[in-house]
Structure 1
């Protein structure tokens, strides 16, 4: 798109391509939210298990309390023993950051940085239809 162009100057293919890139990124941002929810749920569960360890120990179930302390609380959530925050950080650094950068470069190249070109076209079309 040239410097004097607007989103109305895009071809159908350009508009569709940018819409798909933007929606793809939005879905990945939602996935990040799910990973964060997973991370927070793991943390809350671990907090409860930490309390359970104390209560089991007070009730003289030392073996069970020791299992929570030694086997459950220090354990990672993946087969290679990573904690949930590590999974979130790895997703953000190795996948989401490059995708976000790609979306910015694509948007700058195709739409001069304008976002939501498909939605803007739909908005214009619906408002024009309403005026008729």
Structure 2
């Protein structure tokens, strides 16, 4: 049973290794969320392209009222409503950029700082210890 004070080959305690592991996992999940936002951005753009195509076809078919609704109400509109009366909302690229620049980058920098402060910049400390252990066991030791 771990007391949280056992030193690893890295010179870290179990508690420090676990904390760094949780930071690594948190950042990995946030990168996955970023990937979902990229997919959301691409799917939104593709959907809007289809609506733009529909606008032209509706206009060609003589349905200007429907074509105008797409042109005026949907194509310029953001995916998240804005609180500013002159703004039609935030577009998917804006959400993606904000997530990257104002959130993900800061968290990644924090993870690097934690790794630098505790483990001389080494990441995945827990996995490295597991790898060493499994390799040692495979050698029959």
TM-score norm. by structure 2 comes to 0.86
Are the equivalent residues in 1 in contact too, given 2:55–2:68 (CA < 8 A)?
yes
How does 1:1-132 map onto structure 2 within 5 Å? 8-80=10-82, 81-132=89-140
Change in 2 beyond 3 A, CA 1:7/1:66: farther
Question: Which residue number corresponds to residue 3 of structure 2?
Answer: none
Q: Which stretches of structure 1, 4 residues or more, deviate above 6 A after TM superposition?
A: none
SS of match in other structure, 2:10: helix
Q: Which has the higher contact order (CA 8 A, sep 6+)?
A: 1
Are the equivalent residues in 1 in contact too, given 2:52–2:70 (CA < 8 A)?
yes
SS of match in other structure, 1:54: helix
CA shift for structure 1 position 40:
0.6
TM-score norm. by structure 1 comes to 0.92
Question: Which residue number corresponds to residue 3 of structure 1?
Answer: none
Equivalences, count: 127
Structure richer in helix, relative to its length: 1
CA shift for structure 1 position 108:
0.2
Show structure 1 runs of 5+ residues with no match: 1-5
